[in-house]
Amino acid sequence: MATGLSATTPLVEARGLTKRFAPPARLTDMFRKERPHTHAVNKVDLTISRGESIGLLGESGCGKTTTGRLLLKLIEPSAGDILFDGTAVAGLAGPSLIDFRKRAQLVFQNPFDALNPRFTIERALAEPLVNTGVERATHRDRVEKALSQVRLPPLARFEGLFPHQLSGGQLQRIVLARALVLEPDFIVADEPVSMLDVSVRAGVLNVMREVRASLGLAALYISHDLALVRYVCSRTLVMYLGRIVEEGPTEDLLKSPLHPYTRALMKAVPVPRVDQSRDPLPIIGNVSDARGQPKGCSFRDRCPLAIARCADDEPALRSVAPGRRVACHLV
């Protein structure tokens, strides 16, 4: 793959990214014309610049994990394009695909599951190098370097150790080191600290922040946790039922959320203090079904502000202020 067309091309660009999942086939489907597909990701546009960290925020089932997997070509989109460093990801195969894999890595959510229990830590860290055909003589140096990047050097202290002998915080840093050992330009971190206890979580978050800054890494953090996104991401996208409903610089977005969904989400987060608002949330009922594709705004059933137009007319994600986009008729 060619290295960067120019400094201004975004590193990752998705246009109209869509992923539909077919429902499991049933016998009764023979009598139905069309089976409703689940629109996990629906016409998502996003760009990530070099060195930028973006938060993808949303509740379970909103499509945030699917978006991350699409961007890494772990699954194929139903429609839409992804450009990585100016090259279409869809066409990659053979050596160019391996090259892409080296440059775009995933950090898993559950460090206890992400490592093979029968591999030593050293082998787990070297595995990506083996798989992508990196010269064997350099492995030890590169593993050592990745470990110091996550502040766990030296490799010697893990000599002969297996994952079960490490704490959760250490394991999550090993999982991060394994993603870094290939010296990627882009990482997707899917709920990177949700499995960790509070007292160790902060350490992992600090390492992630440092690594990103010092290596100039572009990162997509997938999370349901607003506080985490605020801590590590400069820009945030809010996703609801497969669509991006709001986007903006993280601090602006948290200070003045514009979409009714973002506002409800902000209000719902409890804070570790006794004096906090306990007002009813400005939201109705539960998340609707992502099956089928109803007309209009996907949030309208739960929106306390919905008007007639919301039922017919799907709001486009449009620019409302510098760097801020919202998909709502009422903003």
Among 281, 320, 330, 331, binds another protein (CB under 8 A): 281
Binding to another protein by residue 3, rule CB under 8 A? no
Candidate residues 90, 130, 269, 321; the one interacting with another protein per rule CB under 8 A:
269
Q: How far is the CB of 276 from another protein (least distance, A)?
A: 7
202 belongs to the binding site for another protein (CB under 8 A): yes
Q: Are 303 and 297 in contact (CB under 8 A)?
A: yes
Stretch that binds another protein, among 31-39, 67-75, 140-148, 269-277 (CB under 8 A): 269-277
Question: Closest Cα partner for 175 from 159, 157, 152?
Answer: 152
The yes or no reply on residue 230 touching another protein (CB under 8 A) is yes
Cβ contacts of 28 within 8 Å, gap of 6 or more: none
**x-marked contacts with another protein along 163-192 as a string, rule CB under 8 A:** ----xxx-----------------------
Q: Which is nearer to another protein, 28 or 286 (CB)?
A: 286
Q: Specify the residue, 77 or 257, whose C-beta has the smaller distance to another protein.
A: 257
The token duo for 214 is 């010092």
Residue 259 lies near another protein (rule: CB under 8 A) = no
DSSP assignment of 98-165 equals HHHHHHEEEE-S-HHHHS-TTS-HHHHHHHHHHHTT--GGGHHHHHHHHHHHTT---GGGGTT--GGG
266 binds another protein (CB under 8 A): yes
How many residues of this chain bind another protein (CB under 8 A)? 43
76, 10, 61, 42: which is closest to 244 by C-alpha?
42
319 lies in the binding site for another protein (CB under 8 A): no
**Stretch in the footprint of another protein (CB under 8 A) among 84-92, 275-283, 290-298, 306-314:** 275-283
Could you tell me the two tokens for 173?
A: 């840093």
Torsion sign over Cα 60, 63, 68, 73: positive
Tell how far CA 106 is from the center of its chain: 9
Q: Binding segment for another protein among 25-33, 99-107, 137-145, 263-271 (CB under 8 A)?
A: 263-271
Chain position carrying tokens 């804070």 = 271
**Footprint of another protein (CB under 8 A):** 59-60, 167-169, 197-206, 224-228, 230-231, 251, 254, 264-276, 278, 280-281, 283, 286-287
